[in-house]
Amino acid sequence: MIYECKAAAHRTDGTPPADPFSLDHTLKADAWQPLQVMSDALVCGSWTIPFSTIESAAFLFPNQRGRVLKLPVAILRVTSRGTTYDFSIMYTQFWRGALPFEVTRDGAPSSSLLPSVGLWLGLLVLAAGYVLWQLLSHR
């Protein structure tokens, strides 16, 4: 095994959904389970997808424009033997690097999470300070 992560997996025979980030599509996904990248195949639950049968593979990224907290999430969409598999994953350093199968990354996020995390931490500190000030000033 080369790599393993948790993934919400969804399998579609035929035409894949237009919006894999929709709530309906997400709710139909199987529970989070290990997605394993082996030397010759992707394995998730009872599904084994040999790299030699992959017709196409692409990362899909949600439109996070305007969101304060930008999460590094992606859907790895793999088509093999007429079946489309969508794996909702955290887009970590492993997935950004060279993979043992060809994959497209159109629209990959290039910005760091630090500005978003810093903003949330700053807001959390301000909120905690306000609550503390309220508690101390009403004694």
Give the model's pLDDT for residue 102: 96
Q: Are residues 71 and 50 in the same domain?
A: yes
Q: By the 8 A CB rule, do 64 and 70 touch?
A: yes
Residue type, 24: D
Q: Are residues 101 and 114 in the same domain?
A: no
Mean pLDDT value of segment 101-120:
69
Q: Are residues 120 and 75 in the same domain?
A: no
Residue 36 vs residue 121, higher pLDDT: 36
Mean pLDDT of the chain: 81
Neighbours of 82 (CB within 10 A): 8
Give the model's pLDDT for residue 27: 57
Domain span including residue 124: 110-139
Asked which of 26-35, 89-98, 120-129 is least confident by mean pLDDT, the reply is: 26-35
CATH number at residue 7: 2.30.29.30
Residue type, 34: P
Q: Are residues 30 and 95 in the same domain?
A: yes
